[in-house]
Chains A and B, each alone.
Chain A
Amino acid sequence: MSRKKPTVYDEIRAQGYSRRDFLKFCGMMGAFLGLEASGITQMVKALETKPRLPLIWLHGQECTCCSESFIRSSHPIVADILLNKVSLDYTETLMAAAGHQAEAARQATMEKYKGEYLLLVEGSVPTKDDGVYCVIGGKTFENIVNEAAEGAKAVIAWGNCASSGCVQAANPNPTSATPIHKIVKGKPVINVQGCPPIAEVMAGVVVHLLTFDRLPQLDKHGRPKAFYSRRIHDTCYRRPNYDAGLFVESFDDDNARKGYCLYKMGCRGPVTYNSCGVIKWNNGVSFPIQSGHPCIGCSEANFWDNGPFYSHLPSFPGFGIEKNADDIGLALGAITATGIAAHAVATNIRKRRLIQSGRMKDKKQNSNT
């Protein structure tokens, strides 16, 4: 039988969604991606005509919070179509097959869709001691990633683990946890940052690749600009309090109840690029700052090492956990002042001697004349 491969739209309809649901989904995705009206038409057309993208989703050193985030997307089509058994050819967490069967499915996808499939990686790669700290089916994760990346069209690194190593790469990084873009060579890698990333952001990146067949615009850290070009701070609804200098001083004070800015509580909003303030979490219900907790900067590299989370200044490297740049600076200032005081005393002794030797000379000259 030479039947045409079902398109994404066909699969959506087969799941019982109406065309109206489908168009609403496209409208929502277009808005998240910041597309103009014609872009949404393009997206509708692409999903109507293109067969689904074959996907291989690998899990390395991670906690599966990226997968958990994804299946809680605010639109059911995301979970049903993009992630469900329909689209995913291999993913340890959600696939029905297990053991040798699962590995065979991965091999089959890699061969059948060589150069076409998308490789999605959740988790970092331990490289220390030949990669023994993460082995699946007798193969190190490093080997699996390199093998799968070879025939992939593009690689998406899900979350902070895959993008910058997250907690397992935090000092002293005992397993040499390495982000995907440092492992995979010669393939474009999109870093979808966050711990976890927002479900709509993850879906948006996949839909973008499907619609336009090219990489979204990336920032200097490899993150899609559509979602990571603005700081939490710039999209925060508490921002007017910041400009007015109204800050929460402690978590249970009156200012906290009034919803003032969490800047002094260590909020990383001013140094974190993500769209939490716009898309929000859990079907747009809230995001950390709205719930009264400062941002911890989970979409930035090394955010675990930039602690403590609840103080504005990170601790100063090499001086214990509770010492920051201001403590060190003040101590240096005090040492300088002491040094100067000692020096001033020495100088005065010296000056007195200079004056006295001047007098002696004068006296000599006087007696000579």
Chain B
Amino acid sequence: MDTQIKTAQYKEVYVWETPVRFYHWINAISILILSVTGYLIGNPPAITQAVEASYSYWFGIVRFIHFATAYVFFFNFLMRIYWGFVGNQYARWTNFIPFKKAQWKEVVDVLRVDIVQLQEKPLVKLGHNALASITYFLTFIAFVLMSLTGFGIYSAMSDSWFPQQFTWFVHLLGGDLPARQLHHILMWFFIVFAIIHIYLTIYHDYVERHGVLSSMIGGWKFAKDEDKKADQDSDTIENAEEKTI
């Protein structure tokens, strides 16, 4: 048997801090709950055999879960924005907005290596690569729009002061129906995002062997010395960032 046993020097790098990991999983669970309940609210199943309305409240409960989870989702997102200003170099907000030319160059590289697969050697990046960062930035915009439309529609059903802060956006869109429509379309954005996101993390773990999948649980990634060096060389943005702080 031709077994491959190789010895290689790997170093641990603590990439995802605890708040980032908590944010990720709270966000994932709340989006899952919100999508399932939201889809049910938009397309309730047909019930043919039923008792009188006074004895049942299941649709009300589904809506309650949706609204309650929406608050968790919203404040969790606010926490992540805060962490974008105080977190480590991999969590910084500047990673997510493509200000620099180097970020766009990296997007092209990622497309070449990971999507079209023109090059076999994996691209090494300990934090998010530039394409992923831009995608996450898009999801942040979707989070904002989801919150604006969601709490905006919800404001009619609540006396609380908080949802009332979102009514202006519904007015901007021209009414509750266009707001509901946008809210519904964005749900599909999240579903498509989740499919691609889960697939790509598995893909990266599959070919790169840095432990991407488990890193969102423990926070550590594993990199060879040469990887870490390559990463830092290409990562002029993050280095510059470090120095200015």
Contact = CB atoms under 8 A, between A and B. Distances in A.
Interface residues of A, number: 55
A174 B184 CA distance: 30
A348 to B, nearest CB: 9
Nearest to B193: A336
Contact of A234 (B156, B167, B174): B156
A312 B42 contact: yes
Contacts of A260: 53
A271 B176 contact: yes
A328 interface: yes
Given A243-B57, A325-B181, A359-B2, A264 B44 contact: yes
Interface of B is mostly: helix
Contacts of B54: 240, 244
B53 A243 contact: yes
Contact of B58 (A245, A316, A336, A344): A245
Given A241-B53, A246-B53, A263-B44, A353 B120 contact: yes
Contacts, number: 133
Nearest to A328: B188
Nearest to A354: B120
Interface stretch (A98-106, A274-282, A296-304): A296-304
B59 A350 contact: no
A335 to B, nearest CB: 9
Contacts of B45: 245
A38 B43 CA distance: 47
Interface string B184-202: 1101100110011001000
Interface in A292-347: 297, 300-303, 306, 312-314, 316, 325-326, 328-329, 332-333, 336-337, 340, 343-344, 346-347
Interface in B162-182: 167-168, 171, 174-178, 180-181
Interface in A124-159: none
A230 B158 CA distance: 11
A246 B50 contact: yes
Given A221-B171, A314-B177, A247 B46 contact: yes
A297 B177 contact: yes
Contact of A314 (B53, B174, B181): B181
A32 interface: no
Q: Which 4 A-B pairs have the closest CB atoms?
A: A329-B188, A245-B59, A271-B176, A243-B60
Given A234-B157, A243-B59, A343-B203, 6 more contacts: A244-B53, A264-B46, A271-B176, A300-B175, A313-B181, A329-B191
